[in-house]
Amino acid sequence: MLCVGGIHGNEPAGVKALQRVFDYLKKNEIPMRGTLVGLSGNIRALEVGARFIDRDLNRAWKPMRMEKLDILNDGCAETLEQRELLGAIRDAVNGQQGPFFFMDLHTSSAEGEPFACIGDTLRNRRFARSFRVPIILGLEEQLEGALLEHLNNAGMITMGFEGGQHDAESSIDNHEAAVWRALAGARCIRERDCPKAKEADQLLRKSCNGLPQWLGVRYRHAVTAKDGFAMRPGYRNFRQLQAGEVVADDSERGGIPANYKARILLPLYQGKGTDGFFLALDIHPAWLAISRWMRRLRLDRLVHFLPGVRRVQGGHGQKALHIDRRVARWFLIEIFHLLGFRKRRIHGEHFLVERRKFDLKGPPRIKL
């Protein structure tokens, strides 16, 4: 079980929570299987309490960059951080037998209930299901170069966990609960041996009263430094928006409305960052069951016979599908999500999807 806190340096709650877990494990004899490794993410940024020094460390794990990381000499603090962090992750993984679990602990600038984010593989879903918090699918699809996605593609079972607001004491409690829950979910500890695991369930359950368990991200509002983007006050995670509701302003367009009825996630109330806000829709559990069966039957192998869909070579030797929406007009991206694909690129009327790796089964070995 590998946990990283503070990959964003203004989010120390995860690091503090991991420290608490290690302290407790040291003081109490809890029977445990496997190994727990906790790492501080961006140490230089944590020291000054900034999201990052030169660039966002959690957008730096793109395959192209990873290939030349060892020889990269760009004077960026985060390049050094990334090399150190990758080295520590390799040390944690090498010589160990799987399965490998990865928890990435974050907090946000807006207030709101804790929640988890996973890449939509059946292995990740199975792990996430026991967390009594809302679980968001598809957030990573909107972000390029997140560590979570890198480790997920390497075959780890992964989860991102948002503990709450950056400076709230409750965020540390939520992260601590998430780590205990993860250890129990990965069967490293048994609930009956560890009172902390049971308390963790109660805490998480209580903090998320009345929220749906599964949501899918459908939209990311991207911003740049020169947009003059500002959220309107008072939005917290999961707040239900009406179609057309103006949630933010920028210097070019003025008011920015939500395009449809949805819940808002991660509204940006801090200086640094390129994600203005996300919109998510509730997912009915029946859809998850349907998609599980579709994937087990490997229906994804048949979709390229459909009109407007053809097989192409994706990035890094992955098989991908090219979809012409003018022909496959009735085809929605949701169908591909159900079948376990991940959206890669959109060019006007065409888009590319790739089947997620290690959906049903992990690799024999993790290569990083």
String of DSSP letters for 193-232: G-HHHHHHHHHHHHHTTT--SEEEEEEEEE--GGG--EEP
**Interface stretch with Zn ion, choices 2-10, 91-99, 141-149, 253-261 (CB under 5 A):** 2-10
Q: Does 166 bind Zn ion (CB under 5 A)?
A: no
Q: How many residues of this chain bind Zn ion (CB under 5 A)? A: 3
Closest residue by Cα to residue 57 from 10, 93, 115: 10
Whichever of 11 and 81 has its CB closer to Zn ion, that residue is 11
Least Å from the CB of residue 160 to Zn ion = 8
Whichever of 8 and 337 has its CB closer to Zn ion, that residue is 8
Contact indicator for 204, 177 with CB cutoff of 8 Å: yes
Query: For Zn ion, what does the binding mask look like between residues 10 and 49, x meaning CB under 5 A?
Result: -x--------------------------------------
Least Å from the CB of residue 125 to Zn ion = 22
**Interface stretch with Zn ion, choices 104-112, 235-243, 291-299, 329-337 (CB under 5 A):** 104-112
**Interface stretch with Zn ion, choices 99-107, 164-172, 292-300, 349-357 (CB under 5 A):** 99-107
Task: List 165's β-bridge partners, or say none.
Answer: 108
Whichever of 59 and 343 has its CB closer to Zn ion, that residue is 59
Contacts of residue 14, Cβ cutoff 8 Å, sequence gap at least 6: 3, 4, 5, 6, 41, 105, 106, 107, 163, 175
By DSSP bridging, strand 254-257 and strand 246-250 are antiparallel
| Cα–Cα distance, 361 to 162 (Å, whole number) | 26
Whichever of 11 and 149 has its CB closer to Zn ion, that residue is 11
Least Å from the CB of residue 149 to Zn ion = 14
The verdict on whether omega for the bond into residue 99 sits within 30 degrees of 0, i.e. cis, is yes
Query: For Zn ion, what does the binding mask look like between residues 321 and 350, x meaning CB under 5 A?
Result: ------------------------------
Whichever of 107 and 124 has its CB closer to Zn ion, that residue is 107
User: Is 181 strand, coil or helix?
Assistant: helix
Whichever of 46 and 189 has its CB closer to Zn ion, that residue is 46
Contact indicator for 137, 118 with CB cutoff of 8 Å: yes
Whichever of 159 and 288 has its CB closer to Zn ion, that residue is 159
Closest residue by Cα to residue 1 from 103, 117, 89: 103
Whichever of 38 and 314 has its CB closer to Zn ion, that residue is 38
Least Å from the CB of residue 45 to Zn ion = 11
Among 1, 2, 3, 8, binds Zn ion (CB under 5 A): 8
Least Å from the CB of residue 162 to Zn ion = 8
Residues in region 275-304 near Zn ion by CB under 5 A = none
Q: In what order do the strands lie in the sheet with 230-231?
A: 230-231, 246-250, 254-257
Among 106, 221, 263, 322, binds Zn ion (CB under 5 A): 106
Closest residue by Cα to residue 236 from 207, 216, 214: 207
Radius of gyration, alpha carbons of the chain = 20
| Cα–Cα distance, 2 to 91 (Å, whole number) | 11
Least Å from the CB of residue 166 to Zn ion = 9
Per CB under 5 A, residues contacting Zn ion are: 8, 11, 106
